[in-house]
Amino acid sequence: MTCASCVGIVEEAIRALPGVRSATVNMATEKARVEYDPSQVEPRKILEAIQEAGYEIAVDQVTFGIKGMVCASCVGIIEESLLAVDGVFSATVNLATEKATVRYNPELVTVEVLKAAIVGAGYEVIEAETLDTEMAEREREQRRQFALLVFSLALSIPIMVLMIGFDFFGWAEVLGITGYEGYVLFIMATPVQFIAGHQFYVGTYYALRNRRANMDTLIAMGSSAAYFYSVVVVFLPSLIPFHHHTYFDTSAMIISLILFGKYLEAKAKGRTSQAIRKLIGLQARTARVVRDGVEVEVPVDLLKVDDLFVVRPGEKVATDGMVEDGSSAVDESMITGESIPVEKAVGSSVIGGSINKNGMLRVRASKVGKDTALAQIIRLVEDAQASKAPIQRYADNVSAWFVPAVIAIASIAFLVWYLFAYGQLVGGEEGFVFSLIIFISVLVISCPCALGLATPTAIMVGSGKGAEHGILFKSAEALEITGKVHTVVLDKTGTITKGEPEVTALVALGRSETDILRLAAAAEKGSEHPLAEAIVRRAVRDGIEVPEAKGFEAVPGQGVRATVDDSVVLIGNRKLMDANGVDVFSAETRLQEMESGGNTAMLLSIDGRLAGVIGVADVVKETSREAIAELRKMGIEVIMLTGDNPRTAKVIASQVGIDKYIAEVLPENKAKEVSRLQGEGGKVAMVGDGVNDAPALAQADVGIAIGSGTDVAMETGDIVLIKSDLIDVVAAVQLSRRTMSKIRQNLFWALGYNSAGIPIAAGVLYPFLGVLLNPIVAAGAMALSSVSVVTNAALLKRYTPEIKRKDKRS
C-alpha cells in the first residue's frame, strides 16, 4: 500500500463480500482487521478479495513429506482437510512424490496446525529437515513394507499349497488332522489378515471418517468378505448349510499380492525420482577451508560467504564462488548439461557440485546453502514435481467418485447374480458363494492407484529429465503447455544472436589493419559503448598493445575524438566525419556492403583524413539457424522481435531462416506484441533474457528465460534455460510432447484397464464362455496395473534431444 487511497480500495473489496460486518485497514502496520460471519464467508474468500483488488497478502509456503497415501482418493482427503483450516490459501498434494505443498497466511495458522490437519486425516507427516533425511525415512518405510510382504508370503503360499493338498490329495488324512483343516488355515490366515493387512483397515477407518472411500476400502472389504465368510464356515457351519469350502487362501493372497504390487510400485517410483536424487548427490559433503593459512576440512553446511577454500584435482567444488588463484578445467555437465569442461582462471566463477579436472583452485565462496545454483535448481525441480498439470484435474474428478462407484457396482453385481442370474444359468444352492466371489473380484480388481499415478509420475520424470539437460520447468502446467505452442517469439539480442557485438570486417586505407585497430582501440578505450568495447576486445584478442589516448571526448550520437601518438583520431558514423570535414566518398561502396550485411560501419580518420572502416555486428549463434529450422519442422511458427531497424532485422532474420519479424519494437511494447499474437489464436511462447524481456515473458502463455547461467532463481519465465542456446527451446518442446504422450498413454491404460477389468470381474463373460475371474487373479491384476503405469512413465528417462548441439571443438 502506497497511500490512503489504497486503504479505501482494500476495505471496499473486503466489505463487498457477504457476511463481512466490518473491515479496517491500517496503512502504517499494513494490516487489515475484519469482522465476519464464518457461516457466510470463509477466510480464503477474504484473502482472494484482497488479491483481486491488486494487493499482496502475507503468504508463506511449506512442503510436507507424507506417509500412508495409497491412491488418488487420499490426495482429495488430505487437500480437503488442509483447505478446511482457516488461513490456508491453497493445498496441492502429489501422489507420486508423496508431498503436500501448502500456501497459508502465517498470521492465521501455524505449521503445527497444518501438520495436525494431515495427521487428523489419518496420514503421517515425515519430520525431515533435509532431503537426505526424508529419503532415508522413506527407505525405512520401504524396508518395513518389504518385511510385511515377506511375512505375508511366508504364510499365504503355504496356505495355498495346503488348500490344494486338502482338496485334491487328501493331505488332511495323511497329516492326521481330518475335520480340523479349517482351523489350521484360520490360524495361518489370521496374522496375514490383521498384521500384514492392518494398514488397509486403518486406511479404511480414516477414509470413512472423512466421508470418503479409497483403495484401502476396496482391499479391506474384498479380503474381509473372503476371510469372514471362511470364519463362519469354520466356526458356525450351521449358518451356511449349502457350502463348506473356505476361502482363506483368497483373503491371504489378496493382501500378499497387493503388498507385492505396492512394493514394486515403490521401487518403480524410486526410479522415476532418480533425477532429483542425482542432483542431491552432486552436493559436496565437505570443504577444505583456509583458516589462518591452514587448510581445515569442514562440513559444507558450515561454509560462509567469503570463506576461502581449496579444490584439488578430482574433487567437487564445495559451493558457488570466484577463483582467486590457480587455473583448471571444470566439468559442469551434471549441472548445465554442457559436455565440454570449462576452463577456469583467476576471476572465473565456479558452480558448487561441479568437478575440478586437473589444476588446483583457490575459491572465494560467494553463495552458500540454499542460495547456491545447485540448491536453486533442486528447489525448482521439486516445485515442478509437486505442482499439478491441468490434465491432472480430469483424473482427480474421476477419482472422487471412482471408489464409491466400484463399491456400488460390486454390490449390484452380487445382488443380480444371487437373486436373479445364478439360478437360471448355473442352478444349485451355491449362488451365495458364486455371487460372493464376483463381489470380491470386482472390489480387488479396481485400481484407483493407476489413475492417480498416471500424471504425476510422468511429470516427475519429465521435469527431472529436463533438469539433466539444463531445462528447468517451474511448474507442471508449463511442462504441459509448452508442447502445445503454435508460435514461438524470439528476442533478437542475446537469444538469436550472441548479445556481444564483434568486429566482423576491417578495411584499411593507406595503413595496415593492425595499425588501424591499434588506433581505434586506443580512442575507444575510454568509452563504455558496446561497439567500442567490441573494438577493444578484438585488439586485446589479437595481442595488439593499445597505447594511451589523451583528450578523450565522446560526441553523443556520433562517436569519439581523442589524441593518440600526437595524432587526432576520430571514430564514429558519417555525421561525425561530415561535422569535421572528412571526405568518406572513397569508402562509400564498402560502407554500403557492410550495412547491407547487417553490420554497423564505424569510420576512422587520422588528422582529418579517412584511414579505415570497421564493421561491428552482433553475431548469430552457431545453433540458432538449426534450432529455428527444427521448430518450423515441428509445425511451430517462429517470429523475431527486435528493437533494431528493419534493415538489420531483415538481415538477421534471413541468416537464421525466419520469414516473419517485427522491428523497431521498444522494450515496453514487446508485451503488447505478444498479446496481439495471442489474440490471433493459439498458444504463444516468448523466449528472452528474463530481465529486459520480463513483461513479454509474463504475458506469453509460456515464458522461456534463456541463458540464465547459474541465476536460475529469476521470477520471470515459466521455463529457465541454463545455457544460452536455442537448441534447448527445441528440446523443451520435444520433452513436453513426450511427457504429455506418456500421460495420455497412462490415462488410457488406467481407464481402459478399469473399464475392461470391472465388467469381467462382474461376470459378464460367464454366460458366454463359462469364465469366472478368480479373486486372486483379480488382486494380481490390480497390483500390476499401477506398476505398469509407473514403469511406462519411467521410460521417459530414455529421452535424449533429437537435435544435438554441435561439439564446440569442431
> What does the longest C-alpha to C-alpha distance in the chain come to?
124
Strand-pair category, 471-473 with 660-662: unpaired
Smallest Cα–Cα separation from 147: which of 139, 136, 158?
A: 139
Q: Which amino acid is at 632?
A: R
Smallest Cα–Cα separation from 574: which of 593, 562, 587?
A: 587
Environment class of 293 (CB within 10 Å of its CB; exposed 0-12, middle 13-18, buried 19+): exposed
Instruction: Supply angle C-alpha 441, 446, 448, rounded to 5.
Output: 160
Asked if residues 728 and 470 have their Cβ atoms less than 8 Å apart, the reply is: yes
Of the candidates 216, 249, 491, 644, the residue annotated as catalytic is 491
Using DSSP's 3-state secondary structure scheme, residue 702 falls into strand
Q: Is 491 a catalytic residue?
A: yes
Residue 203 DSSP symbol: H
Q: Which amino acid is at 555?
A: V
Smallest Cα–Cα separation from 285: which of 319, 328, 333?
A: 319
Write the DSSP string, 424-457: HHT-SS-HHHHHHHHHHHHHHH--HHHHHHHHHH
Strand-pair category, 637-641 with 485-491: parallel
**Gap between the Cα atoms of 38 and 43, Å rounded:** 8
CA distances from 366 to 223, 303, 349, 683 (A): 59, 10, 9, 40
Residue 316 DSSP symbol: B
Smallest Cα–Cα separation from 612: which of 593, 587, 582?
A: 587
β-bridge mates for residue 325, sequence order: 362
Using DSSP's 3-state secondary structure scheme, residue 726 falls into coil
Report the Cα–Cα distance between both ends of the chain, in Å, rounded: 57
HEC profile of 261-280: HHHHHHHHHHHHCHHHHHHH
Q: Which three cell numbers stand for residue 273?
A: 525420482
What amino acid positions are annotated as catalytic residues? 491
